[in-house]
Amino acid sequence: MEGVEGQSSTPAGRYTLQPSRFSNEDILFCIDVDAESLVEMKVTGPGGRPITRLDSIKQAILLFVNAKLAINPDHRFAFTVLGKSASWLRKEFSSEVDSAVAAVRGLSADSSSGHADLTHLFRVAAHEAKKSRAQNRIFRVILIYCRSSVQPHHQWPASQKLFTLDVMYLHDKPGPDNCPQKVYDALVEALEHVSEYEGYIFESGQGLTACTSPLHVFAAITSSATLCARRH
């Protein structure tokens, strides 16, 4: 009896996995640095020290980078921040952990940004995605958004789908002064509008209590081959 691909020809008929290599990815982080990123979370750090959303984001990004590089050391990362619009934090894509650490150390937030325009982020991503594609690499954007009442907007043609967008959304519980559901819906619309492949959203309300930060859950999930969280 001839062996079947992916199956052993032994009497036991056990399946064998064919060796495969993960695709090389260029991953562009965009971190919201609005004042809402400084909101304290339910969890605390060593000695009961309060942990802000931004603290948790920093920890999760480094966990994510280390996990991804353990899977494939050829993945590369660059960093932008989102105020009123997106701007570069670290432009050079790098597979060095030290580069990610330096970028994360440079993250800070101190004022409310008002509106959030994603157009420049998409413009930068499209430009970089073309370069990545020429090198046979996958380009991916991970947006980490923290505003509970400011709906992001953009002006981007639906015909240009050159990268995949994934979103982590941290927000307050719904109340009279915010509208996280409308913000979530706007993020879903943006994701569907620009993503070349299926994107994912992981969202967490401020009211959640857990032993570890929701961002750490996010990092653990996204260190796998795909970003598996709450699908839109």
Which domain covers residue 156, as residue numbers? 25-222
| 123 occurs within a structural domain | yes
Please state, in angstroms and rounded to a whole number, the distance separating the CA atoms of residues 221 and 204: 14
| 113 occurs within a structural domain | yes
Domain count of the chain?
A: 1
| 96 occurs within a structural domain | yes
Which residue, chain included where needed, has tokens 């990610």?
100
Give tens-digit pLDDT for 101-133: 999 999 999 788 889 999 999 999 999 999 999
Q: How confident is the model at residue 146 (pLDDT cuts 50, 70, 90)?
A: very high
Q: Indicate if the pLDDT at residue 9 is higher than 70.
A: no
CA distances from 81 to 140, 188, 204 (A): 15, 20, 20
Q: CATH code at 103?
A: 3.40.50.410
Q: What is the mean pLDDT of the chain?
A: 84
| 229 occurs within a structural domain | no
